[in-house]
Structure 1
């Protein structure tokens, strides 16, 4: 199984990239968010890979981080969500935003993804609310996957989580609070703003 590819971007299509690894071109399907984040043709790139093997095909799916790949796997445990829909959701919501939306029961945010109607959005919230601890860990659960998601987030988000941990909050608690307020505050929110809003969230 292929778990990671590191090579040079050869070309991009609407839903895939061809990654040249030592002269072999791998066709890797990606979300639009991942494709937009890739460098130009001829430049180096690295992708976490999910390999799907079926009787009639072998297909590779690529992600910017292990956290994004874990979200892709998690989404497909819900009936009615295949690889295409999962990639569509990850185009609209990155891992921190996705886990925050599920945690809040925000069906509207999920329904923004192509192929996700109100009924499927409700099913996603219902079925994944007990699985999101893989990213927002509860007592006794491993924090590594969500740590990866935080590290993949914008710098102000990661710095805000770090600051809250330094104030004595647990990493899962801090990460959950920052993920919730970051989506509402917008992409331009700085670290100080996120810390202030997260403290209010934690005190609520």
Structure 2
């Protein structure tokens, strides 16, 4: 089982990256947030991985953080949620935001995640409530400092996608001025729209 890859980032696509490890290119499926955290192609990278083996395929799923990997494994323990679905969920909501929604039984927030219907959202709440308690506690404090940190993370994610620091800062400032409390994944999507328009 491949648990970690360290090498050169060869390519970065919409839902995966190719990591070159001593001349061998490994295709790693990644969530939108993990992809955003990667450096530009050509730079050194290290990703945590989960190896999924099926009769007809061998797939690697990657994570930028231990937190995301941990939540991914918990999601796969939910009935009818496989690795691809778990990663799709993590592309639509950050791990801490997911934990907080599950802890609060916020089915409405969970159904805003692409691919998550009401039944799946209710199942996530029932099956994960106890398992994600510690992460939900970490997500609970919402202070002005936390909001500032969110925009710092947004800038880092944008520079990781190859935008210049000045561009990343301008996009983060524009979204900060709009106000309103939004999760990082939503801010990232809005920033990319701004930068690509």
- TM-score with structure 2 setting the length: 0.69
- State the Cα distance separating 1:23 from its structure 2 match: 0.9
Q: In structure 2, what is the equivalent of residue 201 of structure 1?
A: none
Structure 1 partner of 2:140: 180
Distance 2:145 2:58 in 1: 39
- In 1, Cα distance between the equivalents of 2:145 and 2:80? 30
Structure 2 CA distance for aligned equivalents of residues 88 and 55 of structure 1: 22
What's 2:44 paired with? 44
Quote the residue 1:98 is aligned against.
Answer: 98
Q: Deviations over 1:46-85 (max 9, x none)?
A: 1110011122211000001122111111111112222222
Q: Shift of residue 109 of structure 1? A: 2.1
Cα separation, partners in 2 of 1:102 and 1:16, compared to 1, 3 Å? same
Q: For the structure 1 residues 118 and 63, does the alpha-carbon distance in structure 2 shift closer, same or farther, using more than 3 Å as the test?
A: same
Q: What is the CA–CA distance in structure 1 between the aligned matches of 2:86 and 2:145, rounded to whole Å?
A: 23
The whole-number CA distance in structure 2 between the counterparts of 1:3 and 1:30 is: 14
The size of the alignment, in residue pairs, is: 150
How far the C-alpha of 1:186 sits from its partner, in A, is 9.1
Q: Is 1:20 matched up with 2:20?
A: yes
Cα distance change on mapping 1:185 and 1:85 into 2, 3 Å: farther
Q: CA RMSD in A?
A: 2.2
Quote the Cα distance in structure 2 between the aligned partners of 1:130 and 1:187. Answer: 25
Shift of 1:32: 1.2
Q: Displacement, 1:98?
A: 1.7
Match of 1:131 in 2: 131
Aligned to 2:170: none
Question: Comparing 94-103 with 26-35, which one deviates more in the overlay?
Answer: 94-103
Equivalent residue, structure 2, for 1:55: 55
Q: How does 1:180-199 map to 2 (within 5 A)?
A: 180-182=140-142, 188-189=147-148
The alignment partner of 2:114 has SS state of coil
| Partner of residue 112, structure 2 | 112
Structure 1 distance, partners of 2:139, 2:125, is 17
Cα distance in 1 between the residues matched to 2:148 and 2:106: 21
Partner Cα distance (1:19, 1:80) in 2: 30
Q: Distance in 2 between matches of 1:24 and 1:84?
A: 24
Cα offset, 1:180, TM superposition: 1.9
Unaligned runs of 5+ in 1: 137-145, 147-174, 191-204
Alignment deviations for residues 81-128 of structure 1 (CA, whole Å, 9 cap, x no partner): 222221122122222222111111111222122110112111110111
Give the match for residue 74 of structure 1. 74
